[in-house]
């Protein structure tokens, strides 16, 4: 990573006796697309609002490009922001909405007009200058809001759940568009969302937050494949929790429903016959054998859910019920409820999470 462009250190926000952001630190390079991901109330929006200047940190500093902006007013920070509720100015047409920041900055009319036209082209709405917000669909309005945010060439782009008010289909297409525009302009972007799929699909790096703290910060595939904490593992993606008994701590062997399996790693404090919890992603389990899979387990099919391209099979292993995902192979018959089924996995895919 090159020099830190956005850096936050010891950032804390307290409302009365309630601390919603607890000494958060992170640093990002210029041009990165960063997501703040977490359940509602985890402090992600508060962090974004502190970066924007709408909230004053109780402690800590925020610097952008070497400049300490912690106490700067929002209108002095040269940032762009997109809101969940679009927040286009209802009294202004699209052209004046996009040109608002330029007008405030005193950019001459002709230059403004050219920049607005350029922005409308970028968001795929050329010639929409004279439209009013209420005449446009939600997706179009949000794209105009994006154009308004980036028209004055801000130092950074802040996105506060910009897709949450939109229908599912628009949400996916617009998030791809946002990412394409961001890559095109190379603008450092902070994106707040509670939707893990959104965060994983468009970010360079993801900050997973819970209860005011960072649980994990990393690239999407690291967050998903190597969750650092139990919270990250359960919040990001589907996860099976398996109750196992440690039968041979020295050789890292545990038993699940009487069937032994060897683990790559065990918590240091694991004792003989102690109960532990293993976690495994549904998609690393394969029906039948597969090359590289060194563990085979047998159970009873409890339920089969058809999800289109994927079939989710729930297998009972004693008290444990495991979900496993398999592609919808149209040439083979999906498993039936009550059948006995054998499936395999690679022991390296098992996650042993510290409690």
Partner 1 sequence: MKQNRFWAWVVFLLGASYFIVPLVATFEFSLRMRRGYYSFDSYASVFSDPNFQATFGYSVLIGIFSILVGIVIVVPAVYFVRLRLPWLRPFMEFFTLLPLIIPAIILVYGYIRLYNSSSIIPFTGSALGTDILLTFAYVTLALPYTYRAVDTGMRTIDVQTLTEAAQIAGANTIQIISQIILPNILVAVLSGAFLTFAIVIGEFTIASLLNRPAFGPYLQNIGANRAYEPAALAIISFIITWGAMGMINVLGRFAPRTSARTD
Q: Does 129 bind partner 1 (CB under 8 A)?
A: no
Q: Which stretch binds partner 1 (CB under 8 A): 24-32, 145-153, 175-183, 267-275?
A: 145-153
Radius of gyration of the chain, Cα coordinates, nearest whole angstrom: 25
Long-range CB pairs of 223-228, under 8 A, 24+ apart, other chains included: 224/200, 227/351, 227/353
Q: Which is nearer to partner 1, 72 or 185 (CB)?
A: 72
| Choice from 35, 46, 141, 276 touching partner 1 (CB under 8 A) | 141
81 binds partner 1 (CB under 8 A): yes
Q: Scanning residues 14 to 53, which ones bind partner 1 (CB under 8 A)?
A: 52-53
Report the distance separating Cα 278 and Cα 282, nearest Å: 13
- 13 near partner 1 (CB under 8 A): no
In degrees, to the nearest 5, what angle opens at C-alpha 151 toward C-alphas 146 and 153? 115
Question: Should residue 148 be labelled a site residue for partner 1 when binding is judged by CB under 8 A?
Answer: yes
The single residue among 77, 112, 175, 314 that binds partner 1, judged by CB under 8 A, is: 77
Q: Which residues of 80-115 are buried (b: 16+ CB within 10 A; e: fewer)?
A: bbbbbebbbeeebbbbbbbbbbbeeeebeeeebeeb
Minimum CB distance to partner 1, residue 78 (Å): 8
User: Which residue stretch of 62-70, 130-138, 229-237, 315-323 sits at the interface with partner 1 (rule: CB under 8 A)?
Assistant: 130-138
Other beta carbons less than 10 A from residue 57's beta carbon: 21
Among 38, 43, 57, 133, binds partner 1 (CB under 8 A): 133
Residue 35 to residue 200: CA distance in whole angstroms: 8
Residue 194 near partner 1 by CB under 8 A: no
The H-assigned helical ranges of the chain are 44-52, 94-104, 109-122, 138-150, 168-185, 196-202, 220-225, 230-235
CB nearer partner 1, residue 165 or residue 316 = 165
CA 229 – CA 334 distance, rounded (Å) = 34
Say if residues 311 and 228 touch (Cβ distance below 8 Å): no
Residue with tokens 């002709």: 110
Q: By C-beta, is 23 or 87 nearer to partner 1?
A: 87
Residue 105 sits in the site that holds partner 1 (CB under 8 A): yes
Q: How far is the CB of 194 from partner 1 (least distance, A)?
A: 17
Q: How many of the chain's residues bind partner 1 (CB under 8 A)?
A: 41
Of 35 and 97, which has the nearer Cβ to partner 1? 97
Place of tokens 């996995």: 345
Bridge partners, 133 (sequence order): none
Answer yes or no whether residue 108 interacts with partner 1 by CB under 8 A: no
Interface ranges with partner 1 (CB under 8 A): 52-54, 73-81, 83, 85-91, 100-101, 104-105, 132-134, 136-139, 141, 145, 148-149, 152, 158, 165-167, 170
């Amino acid at each position: 990573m090159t020099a830190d462009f956005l850096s936050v250190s010891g950032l804390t926000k307290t409302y009365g006796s309630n601390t919603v952001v607890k000494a958060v630190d992170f640093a990002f390079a210029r041009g990165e697309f960063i997501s703040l991901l977490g359940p509602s109330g985890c402090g992600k929006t508060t962090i974004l609002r502190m970066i924007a200047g709408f909230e004053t940190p109780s402690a800590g500093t925020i610097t952008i490009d070497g400049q300490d902006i912690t106490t700067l007013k929002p209108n002095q920070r040269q940032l762009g922001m997109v809101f969940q509720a679009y927040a286009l100015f209802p009294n202004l047409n699209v052209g004046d909405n996009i040109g608002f920041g330029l007008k405030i900055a005193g950019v001459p009319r002709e230059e403004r007009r050219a920049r607005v036209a350029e922005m409308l082209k970028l968001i795929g709405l050329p010639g929409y200058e004279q439209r009013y917000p209420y005449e446009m669909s939600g997706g179009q309005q949000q794209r105009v809001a994006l154009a308004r945010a980036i028209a004055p060439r801000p130092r950074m782009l802040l996105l506060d759940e910009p897709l949450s008010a939109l229908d599912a289909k628009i949400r996916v297409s617009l998030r791809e568009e946002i990412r394409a525009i961001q890559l095109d302009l190379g603008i450092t972007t902070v994106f707040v969302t509670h939707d893990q799929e959104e965060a994983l699909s468009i970010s360079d790096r993801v900050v997973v937050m819970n209860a005011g703290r960072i649980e994990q910060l990393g690239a999407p595939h690291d967050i998903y494949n190597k969750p650092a904490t139990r919270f990250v593992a359960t919040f990001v993606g589907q996860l099976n929790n398996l109750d196992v008994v440690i039968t041979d701590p020295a050789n890292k062997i545990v038993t699940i429903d009487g069937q032994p399996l060897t683990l790559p790693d065990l918590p240091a404090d694991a004792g003989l016959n102690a109960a532990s919890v293993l976690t495994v992603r549904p998609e690393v389990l394969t029906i039948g054998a597969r090359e590289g899979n060194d563990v085979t387990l047998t159970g009873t099919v409890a339920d089969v859910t058809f999800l289109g391209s994927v079939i989710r099979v729930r297998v009972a292993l004693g008290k444990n019920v495991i979900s496993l995902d398999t592609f919808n192979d149209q040439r083979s018959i999906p498993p039936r409820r009550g059948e006995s089924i054998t499936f395999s996995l690679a022991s390296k895919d098992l996650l042993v999470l510290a409690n």
